């Protein structure tokens, strides 16, 4: 079983959900601030590849905030 990276929501509301149509597919995404905790190497990997099911289409991008 892969290790968990807990994801904590910070001030995310229903209006932060965005719906995009891509190649006849409905994709739901969320804007907002999230906190990832856990193994630092895994968190770096997540920032490199994105998070979610549609990363190869350019979705799931994260921006670190310090």
Whether residue 1 is contained in a domain is answered as no
Whether residue 16 is contained in a domain is answered as yes
pLDDT digits (tens, 9 = 90+) for 17-54: 999 998 898 999 889 999 999 889 999 988 888 888 88
Whether residue 28 is contained in a domain is answered as yes
Whether residue 63 is contained in a domain is answered as no
Domain span at residue 27? Answer: 7-57
Whether residue 30 is contained in a domain is answered as yes
Closest CA to 51 of 43, 41, 61: 61
Whether residue 31 is contained in a domain is answered as yes
Whether residue 17 is contained in a domain is answered as yes
Spell out where the chain has E strands: 7-10, 17-22, 25-30, 33-36
Q: How many structural domains are present in the chain?
A: 1
Whether residue 39 is contained in a domain is answered as yes
State if pTM tops 0.85.
no
């Amino acid at each position: 079983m892969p290790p968990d990276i807990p994801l904590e929501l910070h001030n995310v509301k229903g209006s932060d959900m965005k719906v995009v149509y891509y190649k006849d597919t409905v994709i739901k995404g969320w804007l907002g601030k999230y906190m990832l905790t856990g193994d630092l190497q895994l968190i770096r990997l997540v920032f490199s590849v994105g998070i979610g099911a549609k990363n190869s289409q350019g979705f799931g991008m994260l921006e670190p905030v310090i």
